[in-house]
């Protein structure tokens, strides 16, 4: 994985070469080249897809809900086992 500074420097170099050529590229070709450049840069990062992120967030939410329920149950059982002294 590239450090962010190196990644940005590499992107900047490639983009300058792409945009600063002697003969301007047609818009569609420019977009295609830039998209390929970005995809190449992103492939060097440790990223997850949106679907994977969303599914992990759902798992985390369910786990938190179960943990909170278990904590409440433990507190209830502890209260029954050790009633407050009056």
- Contact indicator for 41, 1 with CB cutoff of 8 Å: no
The sign of the torsion formed by the CA atoms of 58, 64, 70, 76 equals: negative
Per-residue pLDDT tens over the stretch 14-72? 777 766 666 666 767 777 877 888 788 778 777 888 999 999 999 999 999 999 999 99
Please state the domain extents for the chain: 1-47, 48-86
Estimate the crossing angle of helix 27-43 against helix 4-19, to 10 degrees: 160
Read off the tokens for 62. Answer: 């369910």
- Tell whether the model's pLDDT for residue 5 goes beyond 60: yes
Predicted pLDDT at 66? 97
Predicted pLDDT at 9? 76
Residue 36 or residue 74, greater confidence: 74
Predicted pLDDT at 33? 79
Predicted pLDDT at 1? 55
Predicted pLDDT at 2? 59
């Amino acid at each position: 994985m590239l450090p962010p500074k190196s990644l940005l420097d590499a992107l900047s170099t490639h983009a300058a070469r792409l945009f600063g050529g002697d003969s301007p590229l047609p818009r569609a070709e420019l977009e295609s080249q830039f998209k390929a450049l970005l995809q190449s840069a992103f492939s060097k990062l440790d990223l997850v897809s949106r679907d994977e992120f969303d599914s992990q967030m759902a798992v985390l939410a369910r786990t938190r809900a179960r943990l909170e329920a278990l904590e409440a149950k433990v507190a209830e059982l502890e209260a029954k086992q050790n009633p407050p002294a009056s």
